[in-house]
Structure 1
């Protein structure tokens, strides 16, 4: 049975970039059945540009357009939550205002869902481009330093374990079954929308990845969330940065996910619940490390020996960060 697609498009002052994105959606086969546009207080011609471009593409009578205008703005996560709540069809494709979909993207992803009833969420790589859509010679997965073992684990049904360590799912590349919202709503305020959807989906169903780019992911000064591979000097600077409250924020995120998984009861495998509890303990350990670097060394070595840095973070990267950060 053919599955219909809703596009959840969130905008904020995107008039400059939206024509390319809307045109790239209009050339998809099959066309999406609707675009749910949730605009976060734009002061430019965003809404008019979307309507005009749809009309120019000649698909306004085939692709329904539903518009929400937020005053005051909701922020990225709440804006996307509003958009996906309003989507009507079986599959939901998340969409940023400043990207461009590759030809055949929708058909490629929809086919995966039609062939695999257990598939709950699917994401892909993306080609990094500049403000004028010129390729930067890199991809999103390269910028994130995604490892072949991580992709293999996701393909093998082990996405939850991968996402325990770090998020690899970027919303602009993502499609999911609308039924996911039965458990993912409301989005936890501690999380970004795409990371939350991926984590919940991996806990209750199958998450998979297409390792090839299916969109052009635009990198420019106005990106709310972008992607770029850090240089060695930038990594060193990050390692010696102030600890601040980021570890406390990560603890709150882990606790929020654990709470949701507990609420879902038997839908979540017991092993996943136990793993998330251990993740909370690890994040609490990191949040409560002493300010003085010498006092951190022994507890960090003990935690590393227990395997938790490797299981719940990026191993040596995280150990170095905890040893070197100031404060």
Structure 2
């Protein structure tokens, strides 16, 4: 397969020497390899960049005719995850950009399967997939990423049928390590707000202006280990109870501020965003501000929460009864 669309990989590293060689090999030895890897290193001190270089060189020697350019960006001071991925993606030159963590392993046909979708669907702006969860030694943990996230059938169907924005207003289901998008998405999405994680920002902006879809198969091994910056584990029943009783903190105020940032960005995009999309986001902001302003007293929250539940916004912009329970029982 020789896709008409060129492929870049945006790979971010931070002290990733333990796993980087295995990940880079899985990228280079794809059935449809990328034209370039842009590695943005966030002030590592463990030699992972040099290991990545060696891994690329070894693959080029093993597979005559393979041509992959490695571009390295080094940060003297850490940018952190979101801004480091912004830097990596912005430096990519391919038509399609695949996001990549330093510690996973791609199945050989990950790029082929995703590029095929973009090749046949000009309207497709961003695509993500499921992943198989493994431990540090790549031992299967017996569940997929979507299982850990408790993804519901209706959420997948909404994404398939063009309602991804509705899904993402409720919660993010897009994990950057499984994501590919058209480089044209960068113009409306950059700069990434530091308050957002890069993958959820790209996903919701893409869903507001174009088509997002999902491949329900696992296309990578998503490694879960003690040094994950962002991981995926399914909460136990006890874990859910603890969350329901945990301190409210600034969570809801921070979510309201994130919604404000998104609204500002989408309004700046003018006619690219449908009025109904803006209306939904404004309604989401009303709900998030309501939750942020709830009183400290659990008793005093009961009537306002009941009234808010009757509006249907807990279902539209959250996980329904779970949000109601948390708002009733969370501590201050």
Q: Same fold (TM over 0.5)?
A: yes
What is the Cα-based RMSD across aligned positions, in Å? 1.0
Match of 1:296 among 301, 317, 323: 301
Of residues 164, 188, 193, the one that matches 2:193 is 188
Structure 1 stretches of 4+ with a deviation exceeding 6 A read none
Report the Cα offset of residue 96 of structure 1: 0.1
For the pair 1:118 / 2:118, whether they are aligned, the reply is no
- Matched residue of 1:323: which SS? helix
Aligned-pair CA distance for 1:56: 1.1
Secondary structure at the residue paired with 1:295? helix
Matches within 5 A, 1:29-44: 29-44=31-46
How far, CA to CA, are the matches of 2:9 and 2:28 in structure 1? 11
1:324 to 316, 321, 329: 329
Trace 1:115-264 onto structure 2 (pairs within 5 A): 115-264=120-269
Q: Per-residue deviation at 1:188?
A: 1.5
State the number of aligned residues: 327
Deviations 1:97-130 (A, max 9, x none): 0000001110000000000000000000000000
TM-score normalised per structure 2: 0.97
1:274 is matched with 279
Question: Does the alignment pair 1:11 with 2:13?
Answer: yes
Render the CA deviation track for 1:165-204: whole Å, top value 9, x for unaligned. 0000000000000000010011112100000000000000
Listed as ranges, the gaps of 5+ residues in structure 2 are none
Map residues 71-110 of structure 1 onto 2, 5 A cutoff.
Answer: 71-110=76-115
Inter-partner Cα distance in structure 2 for 1:200 and 1:259: 12
Alpha-carbon distance between aligned partners in 2 of 1:56 and 1:6, rounded to the nearest angstrom: 19
Q: 1: distance between equivalents of 2:290 and 2:49?
A: 47
Counterparts of 1:320 and 1:111, CA distance in 2: 43
Query: Distance between the aligned counterparts of 1:293 and 1:78, measured in 2?
Result: 38
Please name the residue that 1:24 is paired with.
26
Shift in Å, 1:29: 2.2
TM (norm. structure 1) is 0.99
1:12-53 Cα distance to aligned partner (Å, 9 max, x none): 011110111011111112210000000001101101100111
Shift of 1:279: 0.5
Q: Deviations over 1:216-264 (max 9, x none)?
A: 0000000000000000001000100011011111001111101111111
Q: What's the CA shift for 1:270?
A: 0.7
Name stretches of at least 5 consecutive residues in structure 1 with no aligned partner: none
Paired with 2:49 and 2:249, the residues of 1 have a C-alpha distance of: 39
Q: Distance in 2 between matches of 1:194 and 1:256?
A: 16
